[in-house]
Amino acid sequence: MNTHQYDAIVVGSGISGGWAAKELCEKGLKTLVLERGRQVEHLKDYPTMTSAPWDMPHRNRIPLAEKLENPVVNRCYAYAEDTRHFFVKDQEHPYIQNKPFDWVRGYQVGGKSLIWARQTQRWSKFDFEGPARDGFAVDWPIRYDDIAPWYSYVERFVGISGNYDGLETLPDGEFLPAWEMNCVEKEVQKRILEAYGDRKFVIGRCAHLTQPKDVHLAQGRGQCQARNQCYRGCPFGGYFSSNSSTLPAAAKTGNLTIRPDSVVHSVIWDEDKGKATGVRVIDRITNEATEYFANVIFLNAACLNTNLILLNSTSGRFPNGLGNDSGILGKYIAFHNYRGTLGGRFEGFEDKYYYGRRPTAVMLPNFRNVKKQEMDFLRGYMTFYSAGRGGWGGARDLPFGADFKQANSEPGPWSVFMMMQGETIPKETNLVSLSPDLKDPWGIPQLQVDVAYDDNDEKLLKDFLEQGEEMLTKAGVTHIYKNDSKQAPGLDIHEMGGVRMGRDPKTSLLNGFNQMHLAPNVFVTDGAAMTSTGTQNPSITYMALTARAVDYAVKELKKGNIK
């Protein structure tokens, strides 16, 4: 115990785990970060970061045999030959789909922060107030004003590009210069605003350095080059990741120890002391079991794995999982509904084009059920759209030479694409549990996933497709198509809940500072902590909640309230 003793343990090194490590280390705590995947160092371990398609054996395609072996991960938008080393293959960590669920994972130091989509919008007051107002899930124990200073704190360090739009439904933040809409996007924005008055599309907010400040240069990061090769790992540090930002900041303090290849089995509950004292770890390579101890433990293994660890953390005091007297651990899992997309043609502007590969789209904050319940479904959806020109290289049946080159260098007509990001309602029947029979390669019970859409999701999807078609029509888009992908939950990679925050230990696992009601030195600040999903991308909220929770935990340690 003496050789494995730390002030703090952080489980997971992704977006929230990296922030927990940085904040704990900078506050003087000797901190152990446990990562179940391999070591990945910034720059050194990005093997394809500057590769051209012809440098790769399959020209950046996944061979058919590999697709057939890995149907789940192969459905992920970011999975290709240049990124597959950052993704978990289907059989590497098996799980049980009692209902179809695509669990996309990235096990390495940095986690999914290397392969995330980098969209970062604050929640509004309406999102935190929604469950209590509309009578679903439980009341959030915090409000926007509680987290707003922490949004600002993390935004300044991360580097978020965006405009100051003055929208009540999408609060402004600490922004770097925004990316620019192209000419057709501006025209569509203008026509929709004229048609509706209250539907204001704005440029996306994303974790990309458009104009680095001193705080970013000090991290060794540089300006985003708009290469659209982010999922390979960025050699410029142009987008935020744990590897390029928070973990190096933690390491600079001299207080950080990272142990990769460490699969966390469970949290240790000491019956005599009546507290959590550490974690059990199985070495990913040798299967050797080890225990590590600390005064405070942060669980940031990503939503479903954090649920798995807590469900597996059984003891005489907690036979059904750590802190689970209420029986709700693993329940009320929610996610984002991405099933609906639309598109069409836009005539004109053939003499205009655009430059670079912008890392964000145009977005419209939710306009359904914002201030009161007004539809026949709960909550709503954020809408994203973009416009572009295709047709490059599409000319056929021409002899080689100047005519062929000229025909294939002409861009085609403008098209518009629109997609939804819908809020799903946490339900007790959407849950994860441990298999009583099947184990993973490290002897840990496999996770069983029972998560599905419901009638509310179908109504919300229908409304998006109807409203999207109406908006595009009013904007002058023609040849409109509508599509329901019918994709399984999970492919959104925004799973949340199971260890939700709340005000009452009978209906929640965590308090307003992400602290377990019944294990006060254990904190959960990844997606598992979320009480509801909102309609925005969740990562900046995870970061803000983490920084806030660490600040609280360290103050409580100093006061002697956490021992």
Please determine, for residue 496, whether its predicted confidence score (pLDDT) is greater than 60.
Answer: yes
The answer to whether the pTM exceeds 0.95 is: yes
Contacts of 23 (CB under 8 A, 6+ apart): 546, 547, 550, 551
Q: Residue 467 domain-assigned?
A: no
Please determine, for residue 405, whether its predicted confidence score (pLDDT) is greater than 80.
Answer: yes
The identity of residue 378, as a single letter, is L
Give tens-digit pLDDT for 329-375: 999 999 999 999 999 999 999 999 998 899 999 999 999 999 999 99
Q: Residue 440 domain-assigned?
A: yes
What pLDDT shows up at residue 2?
Answer: 59
Give Cα 282 distance to the centre of its chain.
26
Q: What is the mean pLDDT of residues 516-528?
A: 98
d(CA 211, CA 161): 9
d(CA 40, CA 46): 8
Q: Residue 431 domain-assigned?
A: yes
Count the helix, strand and coil residues of the chain and give each as a percent rounded to the nearest 5. 25, 25, 50
Residue 291 DSSP code: E
Give tens-digit pLDDT for 180-206: 999 999 999 999 999 999 999 999 999
Q: Residue 119 domain-assigned?
A: yes
Cβ neighbours, 10 Å, residue 554 = 20
At 521, the pLDDT band (50, 70, 90 cuts) reads very high
Which residues constitute the domain of residue 19? 5-162+204-338+425-452+489-559
Please determine, for residue 526, whether its predicted confidence score (pLDDT) is greater than 60.
Answer: yes
Strands (E), 256-288: 256-259, 262-270, 275-283
Q: Dihedral sign, CA of 213, 218, 219, 223?
A: positive
Give tens-digit pLDDT for 415-432: 999 999 999 999 999 999
Q: Residue 392 domain-assigned?
A: no
What pLDDT shows up at residue 1?
Answer: 54
DSSP 214-244: HHHHTTT-------S-GGG--TT--B--III
What pLDDT shows up at residue 355?
Answer: 86
Q: Residue 473 domain-assigned?
A: no
Mean pLDDT over the full length of the chain: 97
Provide the domain count of the chain: 1
Give tens-digit pLDDT for 10-40: 999 999 999 999 999 999 999 999 999 999 9
Q: Residue 409 domain-assigned?
A: no
**Cβ proximity of 258 and 108 under 8 Å:** no
| 223: CATH | 3.50.50.60
d(CA 181, CA 200): 13
Cα→Cα distances 39→82, 111, 255, 335, Å: 18, 10, 18, 29
**Cβ proximity of 484 and 499 under 8 Å:** no
List residues bridging with 9 in a β-sheet: 32, 297
Please determine, for residue 246, whether its predicted confidence score (pLDDT) is greater than 60.
Answer: yes
Q: Residue 27 domain-assigned?
A: yes
